[in-house]
Structure 1
Amino acid sequence: MDLGIKGKNAIICASSRGLGRGCATALAAAGCNIVVNGRDEKTVRQTAQEIRDRFGVTVHEVAADVSSQAGQKALLEACPEPDILVNNNGGPPRRDFRALSRQDMLDGVTQNMVVPLELIQATIDGMAERGFGRIVNITSLSVYMPIGGLDLSSGARAGLTAFLAGVARGFAGKNVTINNLLPGKMDTERLQSGIRYGAEKTGTSYAEQAERQAAEIPAKRFGTPEEFGQACAFLCSTHAGYISGQNLLMDGGLYTSAF
């Protein structure tokens, strides 16, 4: 399927590995020129080169923390007029809410709410002027369904969702869409950390905990960064211009709801 975005310019935050890399790969496959970002310079360089070699698109490398103003500046210097913005960032580590300090909470809200809003502020008017824009925020299933130890991450991401609900409607008429992708149990380092957390709490092995968690999912498996990336690429496509302000769950049916 031709997504109609060949030659578009895309910033994908935290895209040197995991779900962000899945999104960067899918957008490059659709013909987009992309910015690959991550904190580890070696990983960024390796991911960028693999994508260049595979798809022949222009790939800019930005080794920086997207949570910092310097990191955001570097992203925007690498791609001053993005047509596509995929907001992604690591979340706070699993922790009992009673152990969170005020600074912990401020840092978590900055990571998972303030930073994507700042990047949207910096890019959305240009998208509207050019008559095309796609913004996808990677949030979490925990926006809908509590996940033990991720209360801070859940609260910040839910705040981002509520904040942007009205913003999305205000720009839909300019062919600029804002949507959220909510990963469930995807086969990433974040999931592996959660499996270890669950194993420690229950006194089971990692393998037993992984099997138990996969069995709870109607699809009977964990999701992959590759299929997550394809969903992201569709939301960024010309075909998704009538979809805005929505939350797309990718959880294998784990969240039980008719609506």
Structure 2
Amino acid sequence: MDLGIRGRKAIVCASSKGLGKGCALALAENGVNLVVNGRDAATLAHTAAEIRDRFGVEIIEIAGDVADPAIQESLLSACPDPDILVNNNAGPPFRDFRELDRAAILKGVTNNMVTPFELIKATVDGMASRGFGRIVNITSLSVYMPIQGLDLSSAARAGLTSFLSGIARGVIDKNVTINNMLPGKLDTDRLRGPHEPGVPEDPEAARQRKERLASDIPAKRLGTLEEFGQICAFLCSVHAGYLTGQNIPVDGGAYVSAF
């Protein structure tokens, strides 16, 4: 299927690895020129080179924490008129709520609610004036299925979801959509737990880990970054213009609901 977005421009936050990288790869495969971002400059440069080599699209690298206003300014300077915005950022670490102080709470809310809203606010009117815009926010399945110990992450992402619900309905008449992807258990570094960067996982240990993590998933496997990215690319396509304000679980059937 031709997604109809070849030549479009996208900002993909936190895209040097993991879910953000999966989205960047899928968009590049469909001919989208990218501004990519990540905290580690070396990892980001490696990802940017990989995408350029594979798909031949234009790539601009902006290294740094997307929650930093200066980095946001750099992203927007590199791409002042994006057609596509993919919001993504790491969530707060696993922590008992009793250990959360004000600083930790404010940081979690800033990273996972305030930052994506700031970028949306900076780009959505331009999208509307040009008659095309696709905004995808990578949140978490914990919006629907809270995970004890990730309470701050759940709250911040749920807050963003509610914040944007009305906004999404206010811009769809200008062909601008805002949707959320809710990843469940996908095969990312985060699910590997602490490990030495760049050190391959023992194949048998990896098999056992994935089998254990997938035991309660109806699909009986972890999702892949490629699958996630392709769903993101579809949400950014010309074919998804009648779909907005939705939460899309990408979870192998883990979230159980008939409606």
TM-score (norm: length of structure 2): 0.94
Please name the residue that 1:224 is paired with. Answer: 224
Distance 1:245 1:178 in 2: 6
Structure-to-structure mapping, 1:48-87, within 5 angstroms: 48-87=48-87
Report the CA distance shift for 1:206/1:231 in structure 2 as closer, same or farther (over 3 A): closer
Deviation of 1:190 (Å):
1.9
Distance 2:211 2:187 in 1: 13
Q: Which moved more, 1:128-137 or 1:142-151?
A: 142-151
Please name the residue that 2:176 is paired with. Answer: 176
Please name the residue that 2:42 is paired with. Answer: 42
- The letter for the 2-side match of 1:14 is A
Distance 2:192 2:148 in 1: 14
Deviation of 1:210 (Å):
4.3
Number of equivalenced pairs: 249
User: CA offsets, 1:15-38, max 9 Å, x none?
Assistant: 000000000000000000001100
Unaligned runs of 5+ in 1: 195-204
Deviation of 1:251 (Å):
0.3
User: CA offsets, 1:127-182, max 9 Å, x none?
Assistant: 00000000000000000001131100000000000000000000000000000000
- The letter for the 2-side match of 1:162 is S
User: CA offsets, 1:17-68, max 9 Å, x none?
Assistant: 0000000000000000001100111111110011011101100011111000
Distance 1:62 1:29 in 2: 20
Deviation of 1:208 (Å):
5.7
- The letter for the 1-side match of 2:134 is R
SS at structure 2 position matched to 1:62: strand
Distance 2:119 2:34 in 1: 16
Distance 2:179 2:191 in 1: 23
Please name the residue that 1:95 is paired with. Answer: 95
Distance 2:208 2:52 in 1: 39
Deviation of 1:189 (Å):
1.7
Q: Which consecutive segments of 4 or more residues in structure 1 shift more than 4 A?
A: 205-210
Distance 1:228 1:210 in 2: 17
Distance 2:179 2:168 in 1: 8
Distance 1:21 1:35 in 2: 12
Q: Are the aligned partners of 2:210 and 2:221 in contact in 1 as well (CA < 8 Å)?
A: no
Distance 2:64 2:81 in 1: 19
Please name the residue that 1:244 is paired with. Answer: 244
Report the CA distance shift for 1:56/1:162 in structure 2 as closer, same or farther (over 3 A): same
Please name the residue that 1:215 is paired with. Answer: 215
TM-score (norm: length of structure 1): 0.94
Q: Are the aligned partners of 2:210 and 2:222 in contact in 1 as well (CA < 8 Å)?
A: no
Distance 1:208 1:41 in 2: 32
Distance 1:116 1:146 in 2: 21
Please name the residue that 1:202 is paired with. Answer: none
- The letter for the 2-side match of 1:173 is D
SS at structure 2 position matched to 1:215: coil
Q: CA RMSD in A?
A: 1.4
Deviation of 1:211 (Å):
2.6
Distance 2:135 2:37 in 1: 16
Q: Percent identity?
A: 69
Determine if the alignment matches structure 1 residue 5 to structure 2 residue 5.
yes
Unaligned runs of 5+ in 2: 195-204
Distance 1:30 1:218 in 2: 30
Report the CA distance shift for 1:216/1:243 in structure 2 as closer, same or farther (over 3 A): same
Deviation of 1:209 (Å):
5.8
Q: Are the aligned partners of 2:134 and 2:177 in contact in 1 as well (CA < 8 Å)?
A: yes
